[in-house]
A and B are shown apart, each in its own frame.
Chain A
Amino acid sequence: MNKVADKSKAFISKLDKTSVALPNALKDKANSILASLELPTTRNEAWKYTRVAKLGKINFATSKGNISSIDSYTIDPQAPTLVFVNGYFSKSLSNNHLPEGINFTLLSDANEVKSEIPIEDEIFNALNTAHLIDGVALNIAKNTILEKPVQILHILDGQSVMSNFKTRIDAGAFAKAGIIQGYFATEASDKAFANVTTEIEVGESAHLTIDKIQFENETSFHISTEQINQSKDSTFTLNTITLNGGLVRNNLNINVNGENCTSNLNGAYILKGKQHVDNHSVVDHRVANCQSNELYKGVIDDNSTAVFNGKVFVRQDAQQINAFQSNRNVLLSDNAAVNSKPELEIYADDVKCSHGSTTGQLDEDAIFYLRARGLSLKAARQLLVSAFITDVLDKIENLKVKTFIFSLLKERFGWEITPEDFH
């Protein structure tokens, strides 16, 4: 990236420095990185297919927003819910009666907040650190089995608002929990930017599942970085479902530090209009006897673009690794585009790894077959698209989350289909 001395950043000039109790040295470092780095251009390999120059032209501000109801954003009505509007915690909208064994601390209330997100050469992570508004640390105690998930809702509201928001999740040994992350934008939200970091520790033998639903709007920007550490014998699952958002970039980094771990990364993205959605993932198998399964599927319509870049590292001593990665896309229009780049870097010799990427169109013969039975063209296409994407949606075990996703599909894409239509 280009280094420019004392470069003033107009687009963040209105933002306050963070008041969260991050280590001073970290804040200083983030500020200096921010001062010296430019927004990445497509000459930067990691941003080759995703242009973020637009961000630099908006004069972002912070705002507490004005939201009176979260009815349309509530994914699981029975789950304890923490609500953040533009990064600010909303006590009145939250229902934060957490069950025993899990507690939360607002980062703004904490005396000391840790952050292990890499910020070197990472302008958005540095920005998140230097201008962090608030966020939450969830601690799941050892041996805790959560019957209900906890949902964290982040809602963008207002014009040219930027939220720098952070979630930390620490799942103790032998704990089992589900967390729902919902990212939304109100109708009044325009050119708003959620710049989000999430740090996750999955303890020994813990099972942690995260369902991440992205449903902001066509003018919104969303850049998130998830940093996950897995200890031995743990299982971590992240389901990323992206159904709306103007520019979305998900950076997902998993360090598998202990043996006998399972990592499941599932992603579904359904795009239309001029949406741009970029999923970047790195799975780093540092030790032996683990498996990772990565399945990302996308449906791309109109003038929208999807990017997939998935990297799997298998380090030299990480023998007996099973790593599978697949990215499949369906293009519904001539102007839709996909850039898919699966990568494997293997330094061990006794491993089973596979990766693949396909991009195609809907099967015209199948459409004709369905129409010949009386289905309209629209219904036939819808059925085929949903059949294509459904094996990712089927990975979501929480039926309430699944039902909510289908309600979003109906709202945004007019799907008249329910989970029962598939298997």
Chain B
Amino acid sequence: MITIKNLHATIEGKKILKGLNLEVNAGEIHAIMGPNGAGKSTLASVLAGREDYEITEGSVDFDGVDLLEMDTEERAREGLFLAFQYPIEIPGVSNINFLRTAINETREHKGQDPISAKDFMAMVREKSKLVELDPKLASRSVNEGFSGGEKKRNEIFQMAMLDPKLSILDETDSGLDIDALRVVAGGVNTLKSEKNATIVITHYQRLLDYIVPDFVHVLHDGKIVKTGPKELALDLEEKGYDWIKEEN
């Protein structure tokens, strides 16, 4: 699905990613954990195509295409989805209308006809149920006046609507109470299939009780320094990140 090789990225001349390698296959869930400042969110931003970052070295192959050559919107249309750590509030822009535009631009990209209004509304009803998002909220301005939990549920709702190949959840658990966390994780688990893959970026092990990863990677100082099964997350929770820092 995605193969990241020796990825180096800088922002304003500061090196953040320093030779990151990662391979994720269809049907897998990978967790990336690490201390603050390790480069977790940078990785998410770089994969989504944020232009503030400069890629100085390395390659990213996304299902046979060169991801780094594509604009942000092309990546999205090819099936890459980033659930934002801090979803942006966009006053005046209707959540479902912009999603309809997004879906239709993606369908056009794939040579498909636009979705009918009826099918679209049926999909909104179905997918908003998945994350227990009030359908009224779905039609309001993007994230405007949403609580922290509603914003995260809206991210997963959008993910469900767009049906991506690869989803990157950037600290989706941050600021969530346990009920919201369960709902969000439940949505992610329902959407999981043999055809898609998920990268879960988190600082805490807690989320991984609900979204169970196939692999856990530890990111430290811009590189993946340790990879293991889901139990690795428990070790990290117990011993803290200093253990990793000392090892490296």
Q: A384, B106: Cβ atoms under 8 Å?
A: no
A147 at interface, CB cutoff 8 A? no
A222 to chain B, nearest CB (A): 29
Chain B 99-142 near chain A by CB (<8 Å), digits 1 or 0: 10111011001000000000000000000000000000001111
Complex CA–CA separation, A344 to B87 (angstroms): 39
B6 at interface, CB cutoff 8 A? no
Q: B97, A420: Cβ atoms under 8 Å?
A: yes
Q: A366-B88, A369-B87, A371-B73 are in contact. Are A379 and B94 (CB under 8 A)?
A: no
Q: A363, B88: Cβ atoms under 8 Å?
A: yes
B115 to chain A, nearest CB (A): 13
A422 to chain B, nearest CB (A): 6
Complex CA–CA separation, A377 to B51 (angstroms): 13
User: Which residues of chain B have C-beta atoms less than 8 A from A368's C-beta?
Assistant: 48, 50-51, 72, 88
CB-based nearest B residue for A423: B94
Q: B106, A421: Cβ atoms under 8 Å?
A: no
Complex CA–CA separation, A368 to B71 (angstroms): 11
B91 at interface, CB cutoff 8 A? yes
Chain A 366-379 near chain B by CB (<8 Å), digits 1 or 0: 10111111111101
Q: How many A-B residue pairs have CB under 8 A?
A: 87
CB-based nearest A residue for B80: A372
B29 to chain A, nearest CB (A): 21
User: Which residues of chain A have C-beta atoms less than 8 A from B142's C-beta?
Assistant: 369
B243 at interface, CB cutoff 8 A? no
Q: B87, A371: Cβ atoms under 8 Å?
A: no
Q: A372, B101: Cβ atoms under 8 Å?
A: no
Complex CA–CA separation, A421 to B100 (angstroms): 10
Complex CA–CA separation, A387 to B93 (angstroms): 6
Complex CA–CA separation, A138 to B106 (angstroms): 53
Q: Tell me which of B73, B88, B140, B158 contacts A375 (CB under 8 A).
A: B73
Residues 370 to 398 of chain A near chain B (Cβ within 8 Å): 370-377, 379-380, 383-384, 386-388, 390-391
User: Which residues of chain A have C-beta atoms less than 8 A from B139's C-beta?
Assistant: 423
B165 at interface, CB cutoff 8 A? no
B166 at interface, CB cutoff 8 A? no
Complex CA–CA separation, A267 to B71 (angstroms): 36
Interface of A is mostly: helix
Q: B72, A371: Cβ atoms under 8 Å?
A: yes
Interface size of A as a range: 20 to 34
Chain B 183-200 near chain A by CB (<8 Å), digits 1 or 0: 000000000000000000
User: Which residues of chain A have C-beta atoms less than 8 A from B77's C-beta?
Assistant: 374
Q: B90, A373: Cβ atoms under 8 Å?
A: no
Q: A373, B88: Cβ atoms under 8 Å?
A: no
B83 to chain A, nearest CB (A): 10
A365 at interface, CB cutoff 8 A? yes
Interface residues on chain B, number (Cβ under 8 Å): 35
Q: A373, B99: Cβ atoms under 8 Å?
A: yes
Q: B90, A372: Cβ atoms under 8 Å?
A: no
Q: A365, B92: Cβ atoms under 8 Å?
A: no
Q: Tell me which of A370, A373, A387, A420 contacts B92 (CB under 8 A).
A: A387
User: Which residues of chain A have C-beta atoms less than 8 A from B71's C-beta?
Assistant: 371, 377
User: Which residues of chain B have C-beta atoms less than 8 A from A369's C-beta?
Assistant: 84, 87-88, 90, 142
Q: A383, B82: Cβ atoms under 8 Å?
A: no
B90 to chain A, nearest CB (A): 5
Q: A369-B88, A379-B101 are in contact. Are A374 and B93 (CB under 8 A)?
A: no
A308 to chain B, nearest CB (A): 21
Listed residue (B71, B97, B106, B140) with the most chain A CB atoms within 10 angstroms of its CB? B97
CB-based nearest B residue for A385: B92
Q: B92, A376: Cβ atoms under 8 Å?
A: no
User: Which residues of chain B have C-beta atoms less than 8 A from A388's C-beta?
Assistant: 92
Chain B 167-211 near chain A by CB (<8 Å), digits 1 or 0: 000000000000000000000000000000000000000000000
User: Which residues of chain B have C-beta atoms less than 8 A from A365's C-beta?
Assistant: 88
Q: B105, A372: Cβ atoms under 8 Å?
A: no
Q: A363-B88, A420-B97 are in contact. Are A374 and B50 (CB under 8 A)?
A: no
15 more contacts with CB within 8 A, not counting A372-B76, A375-B101, are: A368-B50, A370-B90, A370-B102, A372-B82, A373-B98, A373-B102, A375-B105, A377-B73, A387-B91, A387-B92, A390-B92, A391-B92, A422-B93, A423-B94, A423-B140
Interface positions of A (Cβ within 8 A of B): 363, 365-366, 368-377, 379-380, 383-384, 386-388, 390-391, 420-423
18 CB-based A-B contacts, threshold 8 Å: A363-B88, A365-B88, A370-B102, A371-B71, A372-B48, A372-B75, A373-B99, A373-B102, A373-B162, A376-B73, A383-B98, A383-B101, A388-B92, A390-B92, A391-B92, A422-B92, A423-B139, A423-B141
Kindly list the 4 A-B residue pairs having the minimum CB-CB distance in the complex, ordered from nearest.
A387-B92, A374-B76, A371-B72, A374-B102
